[in-house]
Amino acid sequence: MVLAGALPLRAETVPTLQESIFWGAEVKSGDLPPIDQRIPEEPLIVDLGAKGREFGTPGGVMRTMITRSKDIRQMVVYGYARLVGYDEKYELVPDLLKSYEAEEDRRFTLHLRKGHKWSDGAPFTSADFEYWWKDVANNPLLSPAGPPDFLLIEGQPPRVSFPDATTVVFEWDKPNPNFLQSLAQARPPFIYRPAHFLKQFHQDYADAASLAAAVEENRVKSWAALHNKLDNMYQFDNAQLPTLQPWINASEGKKIRHNFVRNPFYHRIDTRGVQLPYIDIVEMEIVAPGLVAAKSNAGEVDLQGRGLDFRDASILKKGEADGGYKTYLWQTGVASQIAIYPNLNHNDDGWRAVLRDARLRRALSLAIDRDAINRALYFKLAKPGAMAVLPASPFFKQEHRDAWAAYDVAQANALLDEIGLDKRDGSGIRLLPDGRPMELVIETAGERQEVENALQIITDTWREIGVKLVMRPLDRDILRNRVFAGTTMASVWFGWDNGLPQAYTSPAYLAPTDQVFLAWPKWGQYYQTAGQAGEAPDLPEAQRLMELLHDWESAANDQARAAAWSEMLAIHADQIYGIGLLAEAPQPIVVSARMRNVPKKGMWAWDPGAHFGVHRMDEFFIQD
């Protein structure tokens, strides 16, 4: 069976193009070609009327905030220019691609848009895919681990061919049903590179003397280190690197404010012939995490979601009139707003044995008063329960949300006694088999007040079962490195990013395939490095998750894929690898009165959706 991703547009369907005022001077001086030479011959034409949106007025500066300099990469997330991406119905559609064909999930033919150009005007062709595949992904100096995991099916890479300038073919002997979904991620695996730019830093193409000089100038050890430093399409901090995103990074170095200007060669237009994005400049200011709500309340942003928690909603609502903005409450797409992850790969042998016993994790979950947390933090607007997929997913089962999630101190105490943790010290804290008190240290990223408030409530209820909770806030990067190294006993983060899976969604995040799932970092490392690092999963339920993932990957139809999903979710509900607290907590979105086309009701989700990305920020516009 062949699934087609779109029908090619005929050239005569392209409306009369309108030149950008923003780039008018450059066009007039000859520094930039006119609009009809900048967009593809077959651009992506956006039907705003079909989406219930207004035609936009090009221009303006949109203000938003981030809390770390590295988060300028959010412009790649929000811009959401992908080979294929999710539309507002969360269906996959071509974007940078003109179209595609998928044959039995084994052969994917990607068709590029003729005349598509990078942000510097160089052609975007199959040669950019070929450079990445042959000279980056399969170059051991640039990619020591080889091609990315999502391209390896049972350890075997695809056959990749480039029939002509606008065609790329990926083919496997066995199905790779996750291929297209991977391309649509918030952090996509870029399977192409601006070859014309990066070849000047590649040993196989560059002049040796020039390359050596560049290595010395940039103070790196080798040409490969230099290439990887400059090849940062997701980080978005190299202003010289051409891009296909709607906005270009126009700021060099570390700044408090970064400006991103409209891409003159962007591939999307509206039905009037106006090139997107409508907004000329996005100004991204770096502020301290605690100031995001205050500055939003003062009317200093035009669009803000990151850095805001539900606890900010009431004060944001009160400040709307003076601040000249509205506060929308969007749904959230994570499986749990807050989740505790006991580290099954903890380095301490005594604690590891205890943490790996599902009865302990069940007891900890049963000793959480989720209703109290919901009242205190979310005004009863969230849904208490264990970590499970959301009702919008066909795999939602109330029994999974209810599993081990009732507040039942008696049952929790009974489970701990059953394990053999029935001895206590003078203050009532249970003792480990080696005599140490059960002081469970939970490390946090220190970025969300709601997490610390929830843990304060849990501290009291865990005392009722003889467990002392010790909270330790850390920097996010330090926290993750400690988890990955097995130093952390337990940590807190959101639940699964994708709480809205469909049959076609890969369940890889339910199996120990990635160190980022904080309950099993070393199992994830083992998978990610093909056994070169980490530890092999040695619990039968985790091994079964890997078998079911393989079943999903080799399934011939959605019915078989759904069966794999259902069993994997049942295992998680039973084993409680992540202790979820609540789901569906509203996410405040601050939208200034100047902004148009921002949906009042939306989904705030990392994957699928890329936060603002699925809502197409390039269609938002400013009207003063």
Looking at residue 446, its pLDDT comes to 87
For the ranges 479-483, 551-555, 564-568, which has the lowest average pLDDT? 551-555
Q: 101-116 burial, b for 16+ CB within 10 Å, e for fewer?
A: ebeebbbbbbbbbebb
pLDDT at 7 over 50: no
8: confidence class by pLDDT, cuts 50, 70, 90: very low
What pLDDT digit, counting tens, does each position of 389-430 carry?
999 999 999 999 999 999 999 999 999 999 999 999 999 999
- Token pair for 364: 């900890």
Instruction: Give the torsion through C-alpha atoms of 364, 383, 334, 477, to 10 deg.
Output: -50
Task: Check pLDDT > 90 for residue 10.
Answer: no
What is the rounded average pLDDT of the residues 539-557? Answer: 95
Q: Residue 315: its pLDDT value, please?
A: 95
19 membership: H or E segment, kind and range: none
Six-digit token string for 578? 């992540």
Helix (H) or strand (E) holding 183: helix 179-183
Amino acid found at 365: S
pLDDT digits (tens, 9 = 90+) for 444-456: 998 888 999 999 9
Strands 468-473 and 439-444: what pairing?
A: parallel
Distance separating alpha carbons of residues 578 and 580, to the nearest angstrom: 6
Rounded to an integer, what distance in angstroms lies between the CA atom of residue 286 and that of residue 264? 26
33/23 Cα distance (integer angstroms) = 10
CA distances, 203 to each of 200, 214, 225, 231, 306 (Å): 8, 12, 11, 14, 40
- Over 50: is that where the pLDDT of 360 sits? yes
Question: Please, what is the end-to-end C-alpha distance for the chain in angstroms?
Answer: 51
What are the backbone angles phi and psi of residue 590, rounded to the nearest 5°? -90, 125
Residue 485: both structure tokens together: 């190294």
Backbone angles phi, psi at 562, to 5 degrees: -65, -35
Of residues 518 and 558, the one with the higher pLDDT is 518
Question: Which DSSP string do the residues of 93-105 spell out, in sequence order?
Answer: EESSEEEEEEETT
Of the pLDDT bands very low, low, confident and very high (cuts 50, 70, 90), residue 4 is low
| pLDDT-based confidence at residue 530 (cuts at 50, 70, 90) | confident
Burial class from Cβ neighbours inside 10 Å (0-12, 13-18, 19+) for residue 122 reads middle
- pLDDT value at 488 more than 60: yes
CB atoms within 10 A of CB 155: 6
At residue 216, the pLDDT reads 96
pLDDT digits (tens, 9 = 90+) for 296-307: 999 999 999 999
**Minimal CA–CA distance to 290: which of 307, 315, 267?**
307
pLDDT at position 12 over 50: no
Do residues 384 and 582 touch, judged by C-beta distance below 8 A? Answer: yes
HEC readout, 366-433: HCCCHHHHHHHHHCCCCEECCCCCCCCCCCCCHHHHHCCCCCCHHHHHHHHHHHCCCCECCCCCEECC
Query: Which single residue is written with the structure tokens 């920097």?
Result: 475
Longest Cα separation, the chain = 83
Q: What pLDDT is stored for residue 624 in this prediction? A: 83
Q: What share of the chain has pLDDT > 90, as a percent? A: 93
Res. 67 pLDDT band, cuts 50 70 90: very high
Q: Residue 9: which pLDDT band, with cuts at 50, 70 and 90? A: very low
Split at pLDDT 50, 70, 90, the class of 152 is very high
Residue 252 pLDDT greater than 90, yes or no: no
Please tell me the predicted confidence (pLDDT) of residue 433: 95
Least confident of 161-170, 326-335, 394-403, 552-561: 552-561
Binned at pLDDT 50, 70 and 90, residue 2 comes out as low
Q: How far is CA 58 from CA 89, 116, 280, 592, 594, in A?
A: 26, 21, 7, 17, 13
Cβ contact 616:372 at 8 Å: no
The per-residue pLDDT for range 573-594, each reduced to its tens digit, is 999 999 999 999 999 999 999 9
pLDDT at 449: 87
**Whose CA is closest to 580, among 463, 489, 496?**
496
Give the alpha-carbon dihedral of 353, 354, 360, 365, to 10 degrees. -100
Q: Which are the contacts of 489, defined by CB distance < 8 A and separation ≥ 6?
A: 342, 343, 346, 348, 351, 355, 440, 441, 442, 443
The three-state secondary structure class of 107 is strand
Identify any residues that bridge with 164 across adjacent strands, giving them in sequence order. 167
Please check the confidence at residue 3 and state whether its pLDDT lies above 70: no
Structure tokens at 590: 């601050």
Distance CA 316, CA 326 (A): 8
Three-state SS annotation for 546-592: HHHHHHHHHCCCHHHHHHHHHHHHHHHHHHCCCEEEEECCCEEEEEE
pLDDT given at position 11: 39
Residue pair 524/517 in contact by the 8 Å Cβ criterion: yes
| 91-145 per-position pLDDT tens digit | 999 999 999 999 999 999 999 999 999 999 999 999 999 999 999 999 999 999 8
Residue 300's nearest CA partner among 322, 317, 279, 318 is: 322
- 237/196 Cα distance (integer angstroms): 19
The whole-number pLDDT of residue 13 equals: 79
How many whole angstroms separate alpha carbon 282 and alpha carbon 62?
5
